[in-house]
Structures are given as structure tokens and as C-alpha cells.
A and B are shown apart, each in its own frame.
Chain A
Amino acid sequence: MSQIILLGPQDEQPTLAQTLADVSELSPDTPVALITAGRESREAEDEDIVSLLDHPVRNLSLFARGEKIFRDDPDLFAGLRLRHDHSRQLQALYRRRLDHAMDGACEVLETSGHDKDEWLVLERLSERSAHMVKEVFEEAMAAVRELDHNHLLRLDALRDEFADEWKPDEREAVIEAKQQVAHELSDCGALLVAGGHVVVLLNRLRLFGLAQLVTEAESPLPVLAWSAGAMAFTTRVVAFHDRPPQGRGHAEVLESGLGLAPDVVALPHASQRLLLDDEMRVSILARRMKPALCLALDNDARADWDGQRWRSGGQTQRLNIDGTVTEWSTS
């Protein structure tokens, strides 16, 4: 089983080279594979990553290869576009219901007299009242979790339908491109996956069967993934921002991830995108995602999955259901 290492963003405080040295003993001339498909048309602009490393870097060009597949196989492209249209439609419908469900959960607390500093203490209420409010709140959160869960099932069903109807793995253009990628990956000592547009990245990783290539490699191929790359390798990809210029800022379940880094929700740039000192928002997000653990992947964060268990590293923090954000320790 390959080791999956989730890292914090690499633009300000890069830890990539050190992490790579920690997890493998590669000779300097062993190439490492790089995926920057999340950068879309800027995929080839990878100097910022290449310059961090002492190894030859082989960009697998999944975005460009994908574009070529779509040019060579316009029927597949049309089918994929239709699936994406349906996914967007589902997301819009889910968002509408989510807003109501989340507002409902928050209102249970607000109308029960919570304030920001004592939001679950409910000190103003009698013991009996506090118990009732907590029970109703948990029920409201369970409804949100069910909504998230069902949304994900629908998205998975759409993807399965697409696979059944269009059989991408049996199409010539895809088979050829996948073979090329597998060949390029075969002598690499590690796979690096950068951030960017998380849905584009995830779709390309799926199209080229990266999960299979990683798990079935003859010798274990460590994966180092950060930002959107880290999100893509988890089980559930969750989009989040507490202060967006439009909308209410409720986190949204976007897709099933590749699932090679289970039981966690990756939250890159958490300190920028989330109000981590807002106990109510932190608690609600942690409750929504449980039993998965919400990991704040800021600069210098690191989380290692060895196929059996997680090991914390760097400055990784976790979001707790009591609304606090604390250092994540697995020791």
C-alpha cells in the first residue's frame, strides 16, 4: 500500500523537498512524477514546484492529455459535458436545500439564547431545557448530514451511469493515454499532486485511473499531495469558505474523492478561508463531517496515511466538535 502524505500549501512555506526526503530514499537521478492538472491551461507552468526539488520532475500533463482525448473522441467529451451539467444541476439543488437545513440548525441555537461565547453551554437555560435544545440541535445536524450523504450518493450514481454508458476505460483514446501515463509513472519514485481547481483535478485523476496506478504499482509509490491535491485523495471533497462575497458560506460536499486518504476532510488554507475563532462555525463543520476528522492544512501541515493509520506531523490542527481548534496529535 502506498503512503499518502497530505501537506499544507507549498507556495509560502514549502516543505515538499524535506517531506520527500523523509518518506523515500530516492537517488538524486530518480525522477518524480508531478500532476498540476488543477492549474488547467497553466498546467505546464510548474517551475515553482520543479525549483523546490533536486530530482528530475516529470509532469504527467493530465490536463493536456485530457484535452487531446476530448478532441480525438468528441462523443466521449459530449457525454462528459452532459454529466458535468447534471452534476452542476444537482449541486444547485443541494445548495438550496442545504441553506435551509443549515439555517434551521443554527436557528435552533440562536432562538435558544446562545451567544458566541457560550454557544453550547446554554447556561441561561434550565438543565431540562438545555437537554431539549441539544437534542433538537443534534437532530437538525443529523438532517444536514443525511442531506450531504444523499447528495454524494446521487453524484456517485451519476458517475457510475456515465461509466456504464460511455465506458471510458474501453475507448481507444483513453486507453492509449492511460498507457502513456502508466509508462511515464513506472520508473518514478514518488507522485506529487499540486492544488488548483479541485473538480478539474479530480476528474483528470479519475479519467487516467491514478488511484489504480498508485495502489497497484509494483513497488509502493509515495504520494505527496497538497491543497486541492490533498482534497482529491480523501474520501469526501468538501468546498468551504466562511466569508464568501456571495451566499451564506455553508460548506458544500462537492464529490467523492479517490478515497486513498480515508477518514479525514482536508481543509487547505483553513486559517484564511475559515473563521477558526468562531466556535459555533467550527463546531458545526466538525459535527457535520463526523466521523471524519476535519484537518486544517495550513502552512507546514502534514498528515501521513500508511494504509493502516494516520500519523500527524508539522503544524497540523484539527477542528473539534466543541468548537475549538487544537493541534492534531496521533501519538
Chain B
Amino acid sequence: MEHLVTLAIEAFTTSDTVNPAGVDEFLNGRSMPLVEGDRLTFVWRGEAKAVQLMHWIFSLPSEVPLERIENTDLWYTVVTQLPRASRVEYKFLVETDAGRQLLRDPLNPQLAHDPFGANSVATSAGYEDPEWSDPDPAAKKGKLERTKLHSEAYGDDRQITVYLPAAHREFGRYPLLVAHDGSDYVRFSQLKVVLDNLIHRLEIPPIVVAMTDPKDRLVEYAGDPRQAIHIAEELLPALERRYPIVQRPDARALMGASFGAVAALSTACRRPGLFGKLLLQSGSFAFTDIGPSNRGEVFAPVVDFINDFRREPVRCSEQVFVSCGVFESLIYENRSLVPVLQSTGMSVRYVESHDGHNWENWRDRLREGLSWLFPGPLWLVYD
């Protein structure tokens, strides 16, 4: 597409103020990257031998070199045709005499955190942080209760965090959601805030959420049969003994992202019908039945499980919500899974976003996924 409007950086480079003072003026009051239509200008300022934009858009070259503007220490590159409402996480790879360093954008206050640290965030026009993921003073707050559960399957103790909705009652009965990587969902996807808000808004009913965390994630969540035993035979009975939970499959759900989604699906497949709802986000559903996978040894058990599932799909649940970002390398695997799930007769809703493999993408899909799996009484209750 031809762009008729001159970008701010183009105007600067052709101006007669291409000097350090001019750079100060150019940057003054501007938040980076610059968003102009579907074009994003990324800027780095500083002495360096080379600067590259490292982003997590799978379909584009992952290292985009920045160009230095002569007579200045300002580097830039323009990313074009980013779809509306896109969200991209990025860093700069800066090479100096001291070596190469991966750095966040100091000119951009927008950060996204994950278990490995934080990335800078760029968004195109039309993207907004969902207001339902911000704490709402009017929403009554549920509580998190930490408890320990001994696992025979794993031969150790497991820490479980249980979300109890505000004003829950001993004699009430609540649906149950088991969240893999639950602590990360709370820290990086604001799961507790989202639950408080959606319950307050009647978009979902009050639910109990059991948050589990792995000890050896890439093994336990890769289709490990011990995980299904742990969830179905240890965690679920313990929760049902202790908390006021509806003891029916249609009131039980499993959720997870990435390897957590594999854990959720494989648990459901090993105990078909036990969990009536699944929420699978950016699942690492690698397979090799139509070509080799280059994802490495850690994916080997996942590949075995998904190949089996694709060969003989199991009606393991009733409702499945699947989401994936189009900037993820896993988009192909997730798209491929949808017809396989549908072929079993399960009700499947599949949603894509212009985002990558990250916790804020998973946060942004929670409202749609949870309210589809657990519709609240929004239309009928007027307090």
C-alpha cells in the first residue's frame, strides 16, 4: 500500500535540524514507538555499532536493523502495515564495544511482564488495554487461599492457590475452574482482578478457581500422565471435600496457556467427560503427522500426544474455547486443532488476535472465553 502521508521521522531526517539539539526536540513529548496509521516508527538513541529491533511477530524477520541518522545518535526503523488493534512486544539488541545487550525501549513506558522479566510494548491504532482487567473499586474482592496438597502422583507436596469469590457462602454451590500456571495467570494476566470484575458485572457467575503451579513445567505439562492423575484423582476430590463446588462435569473447567493448554487438553483426554469445559490459550499443540517438527526434544511427548489426538480425536469435554495470536509461531498448530476438536461433536469457539505468545494476549481473551464457558446472569439480574 502506498503511503501518502510523510512520517514524522521522514520529516525530521529531511529537515534542517538534523543535529543533537534537533533530536532532543524531535523526541520531546513523544512516546515511542510512534504510531502513524498502520506504520510504527521504532527509535533508539545512543552510541552503538548496530541496533536491531527484536520483536515477537513470527511472520516477520525477528531481527530488524535500525538505521542511524547521520550526524546524530538516533537510530530508527519503520514497521509497516501492522494490522489494526495489534499488540507487539519487543526489545532492542544493541551492539557496542562492550558487547551485545538486549534492552527494553527507554523511550517507551509501556511494559509487559512475564516470568522471564519484561518487554516493551507497541500497539497499533485500535488497541486498548481492556478496562475490565483494571481493578474496579466497586467490585467486591474475592480472596486467595493458599493450601498444600500432597501428590502421590508426583511424590511431593504441591502448593494450590484457591480463588473464592466475594461473599461466597458455605452452603452456596459454585462452578470450578482449574487454572494451570495459576500463579502466573494472577501475576501477569491479572486473573484475580478479571474474576472480581467479571463476577461483579454479572458476566460470569461466582466461581471457585484452583490455581496450580508445576515444579518441572516442561515435563509435567507436556502430556505427562501424572498430571491427569494429580488433577483428577488428587486435586479435584480434595477441592470437592473442602469447598462448596458443584459436582457436575458441566460446572467444571480446565484452563491453560502454551504448555498449560497441553496439560489441560491431555488431562481432559485422559479423563473424558470429567471436565465439561476447556479454555485453551495458544496451546503448544505441535504435531508431526504432516511433516517433521523442529521444536526440539522438549516437545517430543507433546508431539506424541497431539499426533494421537489428531489420529483418534476424543470427545473429552463439551465446550472448548481456543484462542491464539496470529503473530505466534503456534498459529498453524492452533488453527489445525480446531476442526479436529469440532469433529468430535464438542462445541468449539476459536478466537484469534493480533498479538503474540504472551500473558497479556491471554489476559485480553479471558473475558470472551470465561463468559462463553460460564455465562453470567447479566441479562436477567438488575440489582
Please give the residue numbers on chain A whose beta carbons come within 8 Å of chain B beta carbons, in ascending order.
9, 11, 38, 41, 195-199, 227-228, 231, 239-241, 244-246, 252, 254, 268-269
Contact = CB atoms under 8 A, between A and B. Distances in A.
Contacts of A227: 382-383
A228 B368 contact: no
A241 B378 contact: yes
Contacts of B380: 197-199, 239, 254
Contacts of A269: 382
27 contacts: A9-B383, A11-B383, A38-B381, A38-B382, A195-B381, A195-B383, A196-B381, A196-B382, A197-B381, A198-B382, A227-B383, A228-B381, A228-B382, A231-B382, A239-B379, A240-B379, A241-B378, A244-B379, A245-B203, A245-B367, A245-B378, A246-B368, A246-B371, A246-B372, A252-B379, A254-B380, A269-B382
A196 B383 contact: yes
A67 to B, nearest CB: 14
Given A41-B172, A245-B367, 11 more contacts: A196-B381, A196-B383, A198-B381, A199-B380, A239-B379, A240-B379, A241-B379, A245-B203, A245-B368, A246-B371, A268-B382
B369 to A, nearest CB: 10
B375 interface: yes
A207 B381 CA distance: 19
Interface string B355-383: 00000000000011001100101111111
A197 B205 CA distance: 13
Contacts of B198: 245
A199 B381 CA distance: 9
A128 to B, nearest CB: 36
Closest 9 A-B residue pairs measured CB to CB? Answer: A245-B371, A228-B382, A227-B382, A239-B379, A268-B382, A195-B383, A245-B203, A195-B382, A197-B381
A269 to B, nearest CB: 7
A240 B381 CA distance: 10
B375 A246 contact: yes
Contacts of A195: 381-383
Interface in B178-203: 198, 203
Contacts of B379: 239-241, 244, 252
Interface of B: 172, 198, 203, 367-368, 371-372, 375, 377-383
A228 B382 CA distance: 5
A94 to B, nearest CB: 13
Mostly, the A contact residues are: mixed
A195 B378 CA distance: 13
Contacts of B172: 41
Contacts of A9: 383
Contacts of A231: 382
Nearest to A201: B382
Contacts of A199: 380
B270 to A, nearest CB: 30
Nearest to B383: A195
A196 B377 CA distance: 10
Contacts of B382: 38, 195-196, 198, 227-228, 231, 268-269
A24 to B, nearest CB: 25
Which of B371, B375, B381 gathers the greatest number of chain A CB atoms within 10 Å? B381
A269 B382 CA distance: 8
A234 to B, nearest CB: 12
A49 to B, nearest CB: 11
Which of A197, A231, A245, A269 gathers the greatest number of chain B CB atoms within 10 Å? A245
A45 to B, nearest CB: 9
A176 B211 CA distance: 49
Nearest to B372: A246
Nearest to A228: B382
A270 to B, nearest CB: 10
B85 to A, nearest CB: 17
A9 B380 CA distance: 15
B323 to A, nearest CB: 14
Contacts of A254: 380
A188 to B, nearest CB: 23
Nearest to B172: A41
A245 B380 CA distance: 14
Contacts of B375: 246
A41 B167 CA distance: 13
A197 B367 contact: no
A9 B383 CA distance: 7
Nearest to B132: A245
A11 B46 CA distance: 56
A200 B173 CA distance: 18
A197 B377 contact: yes
A239 B379 CA distance: 6
Which of A195, A239, A246 gathers the greatest number of chain B CB atoms within 10 Å? A246
